[in-house]
Homo-oligomer: A and B are copies of this chain.
């Protein structure tokens, strides 16, 4: 299995990404090969500084980098030799089985949609994040920003995508899927959530358990919480800001520790024809390692095939 990593992506690339690749390498099994996509010379130099043989890795040299602030669609088109563009080319060809990057997340999304494309039947691929539960364990929030405006059918599909991800990658049996809303009762909410509820209730692809509210985010009412990408992105960033506050305040607690994005590695883009993971811009080597391992888990669990089957 070849696992692709964009070593130019993220605020601390290529140093943090190459150091992360070293850690990921140590965790991989035989037959699992990391493909480092980016400036080979820089990568080799960082490896040598750390007394790690470049022979442990494959390299695909690229000459361009898509910056964090660049317009995703334009950048993908105008920088064909960027690490992100090349990564998706390799992914589409099947030269790598998964691709991950802590770079421009919009470019990652556009790249995924343009190259490996949405799985037939999936109306809108979506991005997920992990939400720690107070009692232990974790939940999944989907979508966290890929789709700012959604139709009810999109949200139902997010439930299916999140459910399959929870089941096959995090081994949650029969995941409980809930709709993020502003009241518990079926008739509560905005037009979107009111229209979505009955569709989710009817779907036999998910174990729908009803509405949850903002206050239920860290409880144990659901394993997968579905919302539009506007709401999900605000929730994600608000939750992150709480974590940052607890860090700043020096508050130590096991629950808050589990907010640390480094442990989860990144947000998968679910519903495209190959495993794609987008890391946090500020990814440390630890985060990069876990991003790579998450993309590997997605390959091993054959998540994409499971999704294809569900949407047949």
Contact = CB atoms under 8 A, between A and B. Distances in A.
Interface in A226-240: 228-231, 233-240
A-B interface, 6 closest residue pairs, ranked by CB to CB distance from nearest: A214-B237, A214-B238, A148-B190, A214-B234, A215-B237, A182-B233
A241 interface: yes
A149 B237 contact: no
* Chain A binding surface SS class: helix
B253 A236 contact: no
Interface in A121-170: 134, 145, 148-149
A218 interface: yes
Contacts of A240: 214-215
A246 B240 CA distance: 15
Q: Copies of this chain, how many? A: 2
Interface of A: 134, 145, 148-149, 180, 182, 189-191, 193, 213-218, 228-231, 233-242, 244-246, 248-249, 251, 253, 255
Contacts of A242: 242
Given A189-B148, A245-B134, A235 B238 contact: yes
B234 A213 contact: yes
A238 B255 contact: no
